[in-house]
Structure 1
Amino acid sequence: MSTNTALEALSKEQLIELVELCSKNLIAIDGTWFQSVEDECGMDAAMHHDERAWQRFTVSEAKRLKRFLDLPERAGLDGLEAALALKLNTLSSAADVRYEGDALVYRVVECRVQAARARKGMVLHPCKSVGLVEYAGFANAIDERITCECVSCFPDVVDETCSCAWRFAIDDEA
């Protein structure tokens, strides 16, 4: 493993700030390419490519976090909770995780993407279909028994206290 001397010179506080900055930058580049496709080809084409990109990226992100956290093959909801805490979206947006019975609920309280689109006077991103690809794929890469259900996400918002919410559960028959 190679090290970067510039990183080694940073304090813990600076490293934390850098991680937050990098996660925001990665979400920004995701939005930049999406808006480019949206402007040139329309929302349907942009959504198609967004779903394909997240289908591949989310599995890669989950597998890397799983290795980083040294999670077992079937990490369960506790493993998912640990991985969600370090997910790019969590690091770049305000989010929380809580248990509701046997399920884990992940809520993006304030989404950077939707906030940026609102600031620019753009229509909100219809992210439910992409969210299903992203969060189901992420959870499945952590543990293939985990199922994902959308609780609330634009355009189907039923919880006004957050930008989106996802419920994860273990399917013991999987």
Structure 2
Amino acid sequence: MNDALRALSRDELEKLLVIYAKNLVALDGTWFQSLERREGMDAAMRHDVEAWRRFSRVEARRIKAFLDLEEHPGLAGLARALPLRCQSAANADELRFDEDGALVYRITDCRVQNARERKGMGFHPCKSVGEVEYGEFARGIDERIGCECLSCFPEATDATCNCAWRFALDA
């Protein structure tokens, strides 16, 4: 860390964290849109899936170490880790445990979908990316955790959120 960052107050650091999260989402969107324009949606999606496959495991490993989680922290560990993901500071999200004890994670206000809508681009069909992104992140926290999509574009079934994911321990 440099001296400029060390000199910031807690309030300034919190504001900067949100800026960093928004910047990360913007960077992800700009490379994706560049590839989408040049090579088409299918090619952009293939590259997006692979980028998130690798990044999600790295992000999970770093957050798991930051939280000092045990090797198999289960859904409780995942519930601590999900809100600390880079995108969580940029999006509005919520977590809850359902009646079966599974963890449900919902993004209720997504910067990516908002930006595409503002630009008249149509919603990003992110389900296939999300399945990899959230699945890999969950397994990076505890390899016993499985991930199921409840709602996500292009198969959004829940109008109260942009996407919803359910995590459970595999039997």
Both proteins in one fold, TM over 0.5 = yes
Provide the secondary structure at the position in 1 that maps to 2:125: coil
Letter in 2 for 1:57: F
Distance in 2 separating the partners of 1:152 and 1:6 = 42
- Distance in structure 1 (CA, Å) of the matches to 2:60 and 2:90: 16
Write the deviation string for residues 116-163 of structure 1: whole angstroms up to 9, x where unpaired: 000000021000000000000000000011010000000111110000
- Aligned equivalents of 1:70 and 1:5: distance in 2? 27
> What is the one-letter code of the residue matched to 1:49?
H
- Which residue of the partner structure matches residue 137 of structure 2? 138
State the SS of the aligned residue for 2:47: helix
Residues 85-132 of structure 1: per-residue CA shift (max 9 Å, x gap): 111121110000011021000000011000000000002100000000
Partner of 2:86: 88
Matches within 5 A, 1:25-36: 25-36=23-34
What is the aligned residue count?
A: 170
Superposition map of 1:1-174 within 5 A: 3-101=1-99, 102-171=101-170, 173=171
Aligned equivalents of 1:142 and 1:155: distance in 2?
Answer: 27
Q: Give the root-mean-square deviation of aligned CA atoms.
A: 0.7
**TM-superposed deviation, 1:8:** 1.3
Q: How far apart, in 2, do the equivalents of 1:126 and 1:55 lie?
A: 17
1:169 and 1:92 map into 2 onto residues whose CA distance is 25
CA distance in 1, matches of 2:24, 2:70: 27
Shift of 1:75: 1.2
Runs of at least 5 residues in structure 1 that lack an aligned partner in the other structure: none
Matching residue's letter, 1:167:
R
SS in 1 for 2:164: strand
- Normalising by structure 2, we get a TM-score of 0.98
Deviations 1:27-57 (A, max 9, x none): 1000000000000000000000000000000
Structure 1: 4+ residue segments shifted above 4 A: none
Give the percent of matched residue pairs that are identical in Structure 1 and Structure 2: 58
